[in-house]
Structures are given as structure tokens and as C-alpha cells.
Amino acid sequence: QQQVKQSPQSLIVQKGGISIINCAYENTAFDYFPWYQQFPGKGPALLIAIRPDVSEKKEGRFTISFNKSAKQFSLHIMDSQPGDSATYFCAACEEGGSEKLVFGKGTKLTVNP
């Protein structure tokens, strides 16, 4: 049973465009929603995270939008750059249970120059 469903599997965007990656979950006990970024040959690294008490969190060009009623959250990358080309993973866990963080299947983003 997949706890966090991520889409699309791959995404191609032109430089300067907006990249949008979506995730959905079923477990209403999930309380923490991070996004990880992984470059080829490297381990994932935390990009940005959100808790359900806010609907949006922005850090530079990266924004998480959170819709608690729909049980969905998404990553928006504004003014996408070729250096943003990477695989992005959404994740989720229950309050106090982040040792069992569950990840989505990942989205491979390619930003063309």
C-alpha cells in the first residue's frame, strides 16, 4: 500500500518556467511533509518542509502548497533553472513518528536551457 502518491513520474520544463510536482496521502495522522532533492550520484537532501497548520511555505524559488482537506501537497519551483534538474521526493510521517518517514516514488525533473 503506497502511503504517499507522487506525480508526475517525470517532468520536462523550459528554463524560466514553473515546475509543479504533486503528492497525495491518505493517512490523516500525517503531520510533517518534507521534500527532498537528489542529484545524480548523490544522496537526497532536504529541500523544504511544511506542517499542516500552514497552507503555504516559501523558500526562495521553492514553495510548498498544502491542502489539508484534499490531503494533497505540492512543490512549485518558480523560474526553473537547469541546475534544478534532479529527482524530487515528497515524504510524510505522523506526529512524533518521523523515524518512519515514508517517501513518494520520486519525480525526475529536467529543465532545458
Partner 1 sequence: EAQVTQNPRYLITVTGKKLTVTCSQNMNHEYMSWYRQDPGLGLRQIYYSMNVEVTDKGDVPEGYKVSRKEKRNFPLILESPSPNQTSLYFCASSDTLGQGDWNEKLFFGSGTQLSVL
Binding positions for partner 1, rule: CB under 8 A: 6, 9, 32, 34, 36, 41-46, 49, 51, 89, 95-106
Minimum distance between the CB of residue 61 and partner 1, rounded to whole angstroms?
A: 20
* 106: region left, alpha or beta (phi > 0 left; psi from -120 to 50 alpha): left
Neighbouring CB atoms inside 10 A of 10's CB total 11
Nearer to partner 1, 17 or 85 (CB): 85
Minimum distance between the CB of residue 52 and partner 1, rounded to whole angstroms?
A: 13
Q: Contact at 8 Å (CB) between 90 and 104? A: yes
Minimum distance between the CB of residue 38 and partner 1, rounded to whole angstroms?
A: 8
